[in-house]
Chains A and B, each alone.
Chain A
Amino acid sequence: MASIIPSIPSKTRLSQLAQLSAKIFNNVYNPTGERTGNKILRKRLIGSTITGWYPHRIITLRKITDTFPGMKLVNQEEKLRLEEIAKRKKRGKGAPKKGQGKRASLGTKKQK
């Protein structure tokens, strides 16, 4: 009778079995259930899907000049603005220095 009932294998034998099965099925043998952080490595990277949400991208001249510094493109609007400022400064119509403006001088008068 006793020979019919299968005897329970020992603990070491069971662990050997688990180790072997993990090896065969390419699993990690982790009997203590230690946290290895593998679930983070298992996740797919989402960067490529995320950036495509909006159909159109913002392309500014700055971005083009930054990526292709050899092209020597000129921002016409900015250039015109700076020229205008230089012209006004020549005629004495430039922006006042800090503390020399209308409001700043008003404040000093009141204090007196």
Chain B
Amino acid sequence: MHFRILSQARVRRDIKTRETVAATELIRQAYRFITRNEQVHPRIRQHAQLMLNSFPRHARPSTIRNRCTETGRARGIFRDSRLCRYQFRLKALNGEIPGVKKAVW
């Protein structure tokens, strides 16, 4: 099953995005701090802003998309189980997700 999602380009792209974000996070936050700090000289702040722009697109955390770990679907994901709603239902009915039970009343 996992190999199925890894064969999808969008999932692989998302993995790569996550890796780039993790790798560049610290230095990006430092630049961000400089740009937002009014005590720093404006020219330095502007330079930091330019440096922020020079990072690759995937260095931005907002490009990360939470995807289903079973199917790679990008919408309707439960964060706790990291599954899309249908896979969540299937697994829950199978009893594979602990603490989840179908409601009956």
**Which residues from chain A sit less than 8 Å from chain B, CB to CB?**
34-41, 43, 45-48, 50-51, 53-58
Q: How far is the CA of A54 from the CA of B11 in the complex (A)?
A: 9
The answer to whether A55 touches B2, judged by C-beta atoms less than 8 angstroms apart, is yes
| Closest residue of B by beta carbon distance from A37 | B36
Inter-chain contact B64/A50, CB cutoff 8 Å: yes
Name B24-56 residues within 8 Å CB distance of A.
25-26, 29, 32-39
Interface size, B (range): 20 to 34
Look across to chain A and name the residue whose beta carbon is closest to the beta carbon of B22: A47
**Contact, CB under 8 Å: A45 / B26:** yes
B29 to chain A, nearest CB (A): 6
CA–CA, A77 to B24, complex, Å?
A: 34
How many whole Å from B9's CB to the nearest CB in chain A? 12
Q: Is the CB of B6 within 8 A of A36?
A: no
Chain A residues with CB under 8 A of B11: 54
A50 to B69, Cβ gap below 8 A? Answer: no
Judged by DSSP, the binding face of A is: loop
Known A40-B32, A45-B29; contact A50-B22, beta-carbon cutoff 8 A:
yes
Tell me whether A51 and B29 are in contact in the complex, defined as CB-CB below 8 angstroms, given that A34-B38, A36-B38, A37-B37 are known contacts. no
Write the chain A residue with the least CB distance to B35.
Answer: A37
A39 → B minimal CB distance (Å): 8
Contact string against A for B residues 56-69, beta-carbon threshold 8 Å, 1 for contact and 0 otherwise: 00000100101101
A residues in contact with B92, CB < 8 Å: none
- Asked whether, in the complex, the Cβ of B38 is within 8 Å of the Cβ of A41, the reply is no
Cβ contact of B32, chosen from A34, A37, A48, A58, cutoff 8 A:
A37
Alpha-carbon gap, A69 to B29, bound state (A) = 33
- Can you pick out 12 interface pairs between chain A and chain B where the beta carbons lie within 8 Å of each other? A34-B39, A37-B33, A45-B29, A46-B25, A47-B21, A47-B22, A47-B25, A47-B26, A50-B18, A53-B66, A53-B67, A55-B69
CA distance A50 to B32 in the complex (A): 20
Select which of B5, B29, B64 is within 8 A of A41 by beta carbon: B29
